[in-house]
Amino acid sequence: MFLSIFDIFKPGIGPSSSHTMGPMVAAGRFLEALRGGADPEPGSGPPAHLQATLHGSLAWTGKGHATDRAVLLGLLGFDPAEVDMDRAETALATLRETGRVTPEALPEMRLDPEADVIFDFGPPLPGHANGMVLRAFDAGGNLRMEETYYSVGGGFVATSAELAPASDLHAEKAQAGFPFPFGSAAEMLAMGETAGLSVAQMKWRNEAVLTPEARLAARVDAIWAKMDACIERGLAQDGILPGGLNVKRRARAIHRKLVEEGGRNLAQPHVWGDWLSVYAMAVNEENAAGGAVVTSPTNGAAGVVPATIRYYRDHCIGASSEGIRTFLLTAAAIGGLIKHNASISGAEVGCQGEVGSASAMAAAGLCAALGGTNAQIENAAEIALEHHLGMTCDPAGGLVQVPCIERNGLGAIKAVSAASLSLRGDGAHFMPLDNCIEAMRQTGRDMSEKYKETSQGGLAVNLPEC
């Protein structure tokens, strides 16, 4: 499957791409099926009652990740990329009062927000840790339609049938007309050497198959504009994040101190890490508050890539708009490889698949923007990913706050360090990126479920008693 830059970097809302955006998208797809895209159960009448059952990680951390709210919004007809939160809140309030929904082109249906979104804490569904079953019944209680969806990370959703691997990935890509159908880092390097093109140039030519080149630059620039706007919103906000942990927003205060220190020339040499951290924290505080973010490649890791681009733009010599495009295209190529060959889902492989993937993407992007060769880019991604291997996903209270917000800052710092190390070398190194990605997949497979976004182990159960 070809993963476009616009699949890797998608606008949406917090706090989780897998637990908020994915279920919202799945609910929207179910409404489409009800409108006529799928065959109903024989003998059933028009849909009159909706129900959703959440399984696995969607159940265990669904409350903290607002999964129930996301499902309701999806069944109300809202899309995560375009949702107007004021309208959404009004619609939710009306739903709680009436227990009824009337999606476009469908009859009025019963939907009790408390009783009809069911958290099943039994074994996860077989296809993925993030599973959900949506059902519609007729007025007599007969099943009208049922579909199982899996939220596989980064806002991507698949049915059981869609999870089945393609029989011939390369043939599929070639038929689609993509000129550089690399499915591994080794293929990416080989194709780049043969064609004499950078990773970003190959990615651009692949994207141009789907988006006319006259529009492509503007669409890529729009990704960064949304990311940068999210940083600015986060730097402007104070207060306590929702959810009950009483976590205080810190980005605004830290940023103010950094600006003041810069004006007095009092900064320590390691202050560059503070700038990276504050940019990342600004994004992830917005995400934790349910604000608008861009999956990079997920919501939980949405701060790493924007923070590193902001660092490049504001702090690196020779930064340019073209460099930002190169950064994003290269980062998307690496993110696509990781998603295809392993996972970007914390519920599947732990946070190594979220912040680890984001750090690898950011390292590769920064290396490319600073003039790195393809070999150096691959090396940068491998360094960053290697040093996140084994990282668990154990959010306190099931909320994307502790340790998630600070973890994005450290992921950005590792990305810059990895890019810098790779640029000091010639690209030759011991561990290929492909092997590191496979190591991440195997580590995630062997990791205890307690540490894969279920909040049943690690930091999630070692909380202060006060």
**pLDDT value at position 37?**
65
- pLDDT digit string, tens, across residues 388-404: 999 999 999 999 999 99
d(CA 259, CA 244): 31
Tokens (6 digits) for 380: 């940068």
Q: How many CB atoms lie within 10 A of CB 281?
A: 28
**pLDDT value at position 166?**
45
Q: Which fold has domain 14-163?
A: 60s Ribosomal Protein L30; Chain: A; (3.30.1330)
Determine if the pTM surpasses 0.75. yes
8 Å CB contact between 12 and 62: no
Tokens (6 digits) for 113: 């927000």
- pLDDT digit string, tens, across residues 274-292: 999 999 999 999 999 999 9
Measured in Å, how far apart are the chain's first and last C-alpha atoms? 49
d(CA 85, CA 33): 25
Mean pLDDT to the nearest integer, 185-195: 98
SS3 call for 41: coil
Q: How many CB atoms lie within 10 A of CB 232?
A: 13
The torsion region of residue 425 among left (phi > 0), alpha (psi -120 to 50) and beta comes to beta
Residue 264: pLDDT band with limits 50, 70, 90? confident
Alpha-carbon torsion angle 273, 274, 275, 276, nearest 10: 50
Short-list 21, 150, 24, CA closest to 76: 24
Mean pLDDT to the nearest integer, 71-77: 97
Percent of the chain with pLDDT over 70: 97
Short-list 168, 160, 110, CA closest to 135: 110
SS3 call for 278: helix
**pLDDT value at position 172?**
52
Mean pLDDT to the nearest integer, 143-164: 93
Residue ranges per domain, the chain?
Answer: 14-163, 169-461
- pLDDT digit string, tens, across residues 82-118: 998 889 999 999 999 999 999 999 999 999 999 999 9
Beta strands in 39-129 (DSSP E): 49-56, 100-101, 109-110, 117-119
Mean pLDDT to the nearest integer, 350-366: 98
Burial (0-12, 13-18, 19+ Cβ within 10 Å), 167: exposed
Does 175 score more than 70 pLDDT? Answer: no
The total number of residues written for the chain in this structure: 466
